[in-house]
Amino acid sequence: MAAAPPQPAAPAPASGGDAFRLGFIGAGNLAESIARGVAASGVLPASAVRTAPHRRPERGAAFASLGATILASNAQVVDDSDVIVISVKPQIVKQVLVELKPLLSEEKLLVSIAAGIKMKDLQDWSGQRRIIRVMPNTPSAVGQAASVMCLGETATENDENCVRSLFSAIGKVWTAEEKYFDAVTGLSGSGPAYIFLAIEAMADGGVAAGLPRDLALGLAAQTVLGAATMVSETGKHPGQLKDQVTSPAGTTIAGVHELEKGSFRGTLINAVVAATTRCRELSKN
């Protein structure tokens, strides 16, 4: 039986008290997804969320519509927050952290969701060791993220519980060593694209078999959602679930046979490995 995913922990303050203030350096779509999930789930009130104006005014407006506090600068966000999420594009993380370094202290928990930026660099650029690195994925936009986190040198169990509560608001969270993060990127980071392709291909198959396009696409998307939910909620191995729907000499085994002839499983394995390899190459650069 597959191990059950971690359950969301109760919110834990990062620096004492019954609540904490959550600041976002960068007000992009992923940051907004986290903020919305946190507010909707009751982990924090929207009034506890802070960010600064974005180069695109609509991003600040999105946060303001939540009831978040829009401060004048990133420096003010750091000063007025207990937990600080670095949610800018990876190529400017160094610049941002170097600028904020004089304002940071071990009293504040730093959380990075910047893809590909390793813990050592985060520590060197910020001068901090109380850091948690998190790798979420794009289904965070619909509250179904798969997020993996690793802890910096001085991050505490309380810090881990705090961050788990934040990211549990937008999906499921695992803790793993940073050495696995390239493979995490290859699987869950890039994985939604593989599934989008599968849904599109299944819908095309439905059209080829005579279904209207909208019906075929709806059936394909719901079938993938239902199958994923069965794996997640039953704890059964996917091979066992596949066997349960594969009757002798039936329709499903005929379809599975075609997938096997096309090296379906091998191709998916190769896709994850290729994306992992590319992530490692990019990280070295």
Residue 62 tokens read as: 């999105």
Going edge to edge, which strands form the sheet with 69-70? 69-70, 49-51, 22-25, 83-86, 109-112, 131-135, 145-151, 171-175
Annotated binding-site residue? 92: no
Strands (E) located in 77-121: 83-86, 109-112
Annotated binding-site residue? 30: yes
Annotated binding-site residue? 227: no
For residue 217, how many other CB atoms are within 10 A of its CB? 18
Contact partners, residue 173, CB within 8 Å, separation at least 6:
6, 8, 147, 148, 149, 163, 164, 167
Annotated binding-site residue? 131: no
Annotated binding-site residue? 269: no
CB 51 within 8 A of CB 68: yes
Residue 29 tokens read as: 């779509």
Contact partners, residue 156, CB within 8 Å, separation at least 6:
130
Extract the annotated binding site for NADPH: 74
Extract the annotated binding site: 25-30, 74
Extract the annotated binding site for NADP(+): 25-30
